Chain A
Amino acid sequence: PAFGLFIFTIARDPLRIIILIAGAFFWLVSLLLSSLIWFIAVKASDPQDERLQKGLLIFGVMFSVLLQEAFRFLYYKLLRKAIEGLVALSEDGCSPISIQQMAYVAGVGFGLMSGAFSMINLLADALGPGTVGIHGDSQLYFLTSAFMTMVLIFLHTFWGILFFHGCEHRRWWEIAAVVIMHLTVSGLSFCNPLYVGSLVPSYLLMVAAAAWAYLLSGGSAQNLRRFLLCKC
Chain B
Amino acid sequence: MITFMNNSDSEEEPCNERTSLMSAESPPVPSYQDSLQASEAGEAHAHRKRRAGRSRGPNNIAGGEMSGSGVPVRESALENEEEELTLKYGAKHVIMLFVPVTLCMIVVVATIKSVRFYTEKNGQLIYTPFSEDTPSVGQRLLNSVLNTIVMISVIIVMTMFLVLLYKYRCYKFIHGWLILSSLMLLFLFTYIYLGEILKTYNLAMDYPTLFIVIWNFGAVGMICIHWKGPLQLQQAYLIMISALMALVFIKYLPEWSAWVILGAISIYDLMAVLCPKGPLRMLVETAQERNEPIFPALIYSSAMMWTVGMAKPDTAARGPSQQIWDAAEDEREHLRSPSHAESQMSETRSPVPTCPITSLEELEEEERGVKLGLGDFIFYSVLVGKAAATASGDWNTTLACFVAILIGLCLTLLLLAVFKKALPALPISITFGLIFYFSTDNLVRPFMDTLASHQLYI
Chain A interfacial positions (CB closer than 8 Å to B): 13-15, 17-18, 21-22, 24-25, 28, 31-32, 34-36, 38-39, 42, 57, 60-61, 64-65, 68, 89-91, 113-114, 116-118, 120-122, 124, 141, 144-145, 148-149, 152, 185-186, 189-190, 192-193
Chain B, Cβ-Cβ closest to A188: B457
Neighbouring A residues of B452 by C-beta, 8 Å = 118, 121-122
Within the complex, what minimum Cβ distance (angstroms) separates B371 from chain A? 18
Cβ–Cβ < 8 Å partners of B440 in chain A: 32
Q: Is the CB of B403 within 8 A of A189?
A: no
Which of B90-98, B225-233, B237-245 binds A? B90-98
Residues of A near B439 (CB, < 8 A) are 32, 36
A14-B455 contact, Cβ under 8 Å, with A21-B407, A24-B403, A89-B88: no
User: B106 in the interface, Cβ–Cβ < 8 Å?
Assistant: no
> Judging by beta carbons under 8 Å apart, are B404 and A25 in contact?
yes
Q: Is the CB–CB distance between B91 and A117 below 8 Å?
A: no
Alpha-carbon separation in the docked complex, A193 to B456 (Å): 10
B contact face: mostly helix, strand, loop, or mixed: helix
B400 at interface, CB cutoff 8 A: yes
**Are A120 and B91 also in contact (CB < 8 A) when A60-B447, A61-B458, A189-B455 are?**
no
Q: Which of A28, A124, A144, A149 contacts B400 (CB 8 A)?
A: A28
Contacts of A32 in B (CB 8 A): 436, 439-440, 443-444
Interface flags for B438-458 (1: CB within 8 Å of A; 0: not) read 011011101110111011111
Q: Which residue of A lies closest to B96 (CB)?
A: A14
CB distance from A63 to the nearest CB of B (A): 9
Cβ-closest 9 pairs across A and B: A14-B95, A35-B447, A14-B91, A192-B455, A189-B457, A120-B395, A15-B91, A64-B458, A35-B444
Q: How large is the interface on B (under 10, 10 to 19, 20 to 34, 35 or more residues)?
A: 35 or more
Within the complex, the shortest CB–CB distance from A134 to chain B, in Å, comes to 14
Whether B443 and A36, one on each chain, are in contact in the complex, defined by CB atoms closer than 8 angstroms, is yes
User: Within the assembled complex, what's the spacing in Å between the Cα atoms of A113 and B452?
Assistant: 15
Which residues on A sit within 8 Å (CB–CB) of B400?
28
Are B396 and A189 neighbours in the complex by a CB distance under 8 Å? no
Instruction: Answer yes or no: B84 CB below 8 A from chain A CBs.
Output: yes
- Which residues in B have their C-beta under 8 angstroms from that of A25? 403-404, 407
> Which B residues touch A65, using CB under 8 A?
458
Question: How far is B406's CA from A113's CA once the two chains are assembled, in angstroms?
Answer: 14
Report 13 cross-chain contacts, Cβ distance below 8 Å, ordered by A residue: A14-B91, A14-B92, A18-B95, A21-B407, A28-B403, A31-B444, A36-B439, A39-B442, A118-B448, A120-B395, A121-B394, A186-B457, A192-B454
Tell me whether B184 is interfacial, beta carbon within 8 Å: no
Residues of A within 8 A of B444 (CB): 31-32, 35
Interchain CB contact under 8 A, B457 and A118? yes
Whether B448 lies near A22 (C-beta < 8 A) is no
Which one, B87, B88, B395, B456, contacts A57 given CB within 8 A?
Answer: B456
Of the candidates A15, A25, A64, A189, the one having the most CB atoms from chain B within 10 angstroms of its own CB is A25
Cross-chain contact A144 with B458 (CB below 8 angstroms):
no
Chain A residue at smallest Cβ distance from B87: A89
- Within the assembled complex, what's the spacing in Å between the Cα atoms of A185 and B457? 8
List residues 420-447 of chain B with CB under 8 A from any CB of chain A.
436, 439-440, 442-444, 446-447
Could you tell me if A91 and B446 are in contact, using CB atoms closer than 8 angstroms? no
- CA A61 to CA B399, docked complex, whole Å: 21
Q: Tell me if B450 and A144 are in contact (CB < 8 A).
A: no
Contacts of A113 in B (CB 8 A): 403
- Taken residue by residue from 398 to 417, chain B's Cβ proximity to chain A (1 for < 8 Å, 0 otherwise) reads as 01100110110010000000
- CB pair A189 B84 closer than 8 Å: no
Per a CB cutoff under 8 Å, which of B84, B395, B404, B442 touches A91?
Answer: B84
A14 and B90 CA atoms in complex are apart in Å by 9
Cα A213 to Cα B95 in complex, Å, equals 29
**Smallest CB–CB gap between B435 and chain A, Å?**
9
| Other A-B pairs beyond A14-B92, A120-B396, 14, CB < 8 Å | A21-B410, A22-B407, A31-B444, A32-B443, A32-B444, A35-B447, A36-B439, A57-B454, A89-B84, A117-B399, A120-B395, A145-B455, A189-B457, A193-B455
Q: How far is the CA of A186 from the CA of B454 in the complex (A)?
A: 12
Distance A61 CA – B448 CA, assembled complex (angstroms):
10
Asked whether, in the complex, the Cβ of B448 is within 8 Å of the Cβ of A117, the reply is yes
Q: Which of B406, B443, B450 contacts A21 (CB 8 A)?
A: B406
B445 nearest CB neighbor, chain A only:
A35
- Give min CB distance, B455 to chain A, whole Å: 4
Is the beta-carbon distance between A61 and B455 smaller than 8 angstroms?
A: no
CA distance in complex: A48, B88 (Å): 58
How many angstroms from the CA of A186 to the CA of B446 in the assembled complex?
A: 18
Contact indicator B88/A90 (Cβ below 8 Å): yes
Q: Is A38 in contact with B91, judged by CB distance below 8 angstroms? A: no
Establish whether residues A17 and B98, one from each chain, have CB atoms under 8 Å apart when the complex forms.
yes
A31, A35, A185, most chain B CB atoms within 10 A = A35
Residues of A within 8 A of B393 (CB): 121
Residues on the B chain within 8 Å of A149, using CB? 457
**In the assembly, what is the distance between CA of A15 and CA of B92, in Å?**
7
B-side contacts of A193, CB under 8 Å: 455
Of A14, A39, A148, which one neighbours B447 at CB under 8 angstroms? A39
* B window 152-192: CB within 8 A of A: none
- B399 close to A18 (CB less than 8 A): no
Please state if B455 and A35 are interface contacts (CB–CB under 8 Å).
no
Nearest A residue to B83, CB-CB = A89
Q: Report the minimum CB–CB distance from A98 to chain B (whole Å).
A: 15
A contact residues around B91 at 8 Å (CB): 13-15, 18
Q: Does A152 lie within 8 Å of B406, measured CB to CB?
A: no
CB–CB B399/A14 < 8 A: no
Whether A14 touches B94, Cβ cut-off 8 Å, given contacts A31-B444, A39-B443, A91-B84, is yes
**CB <8 Å contact, A189 and B95:** no
Residues of A within 8 Å of B394, CB to CB, are: 121, 124
Bound CA span A122–B449, Å:
10
Query: In whole angstroms, what is the CA distance A144 to B457 when docked?
Result: 12
- Please determine whether A57 and B450 come into contact, CB atoms closer than 8 angstroms: yes
Instruction: List, in ascending order, chain B residues with CB within 8 A of A89's CB.
Output: 84, 87-88
Q: How far is the CA of A158 from the CA of B115 in the complex (A)?
A: 41
Roughly how many angstroms separate A190 CA and B456 CA in the complex, as a whole number?
6
What residues on A are CB-neighbors of B84 within 8 Å?
89, 91
